[in-house]
Amino acid sequence: MERLQKILAQAGVASRRKCEELILSGAVEVNGEQVTAMGTKVNPNVDVITVNGRPIRSEKKIYVMLHKPKGVITSAKDPQGRKVVSDFLPGIKERVYPVGRLDYDTEGLLLLTNDGEFANLLTHPSHHVPKTYYATVKGVPHGSLLEKLQRGIELEDGMTAPASVEYQDVKMENNESTIAITIHEGRNRQVRRMFEAIGHKVIRLKRVRFGEVILEGLPRGKFRHLTESEIKKLVNEASKTHKVHN
């Protein structure tokens, strides 16, 4: 017997958190009975589980990495008809969804999966999996400003965790510089807001690393499946950081 939300997530319905919302909203039935209680345990081999009237089924687990282009929505569909990340996954028949988000104006490494447990592990606030970005900013931030980012900086939603930062490139003729920044949180537009807080607006932003998984060699707009080794490293890293921060 397993918790209902865990079974739903494992079946690729959505992330664990979203599955909990589906249960609370009354969208889930077990053997024809609506279930809204958290922690309800079921046997997926015996019980008939439906979401919005449709029975769940076990799907082959898919783990992919996409080089998301700028100007693409991190979503399965968009009411305004803009390009979404699923448009860049030809041949993937399973319904995968993003692990975390990348802003419309941000490009780079985006993980997608139909494994809700995996997605929840990597995005849970207590797990602190490091993510590295290349931020091209207006001007050249002084070393003392970068030290502020390293120590953690006050934003409107609280203090950020310490970040790792280093210069990648400086173009004096364009009055811009590129800085590698590694953060361990996933707040909305966090990197952009951190640089704005030290007076340097982000012009371009690209995520190049998620845990031990690196974007290198994957062309913009293309995807590839993660290797078993990469999946294992991500799970281990999330589990390790969870223990460290608890």
Residues marked as catalytic: 103
CB 182 within 8 A of CB 131: yes
Contact by Cβ (8 Å): 113, 97: yes
Q: Is 171 helix (H, G, I), strand (E, B) or coil?
A: strand
Phi, psi dihedrals of residue 71, rounded to the nearest 5°: 80, 25
> What is the spatial distance between Cα 118 and Cα 231, in angstroms, rounded to a whole number?
9
Decide: helix, strand or coil at residue 37. Answer: coil
Are 199 and 117 a contacting pair, CB within 8 Å? no
Please report, in angstroms and rounded to a whole number, the separation of the first and last CA atoms in the chain. Answer: 27
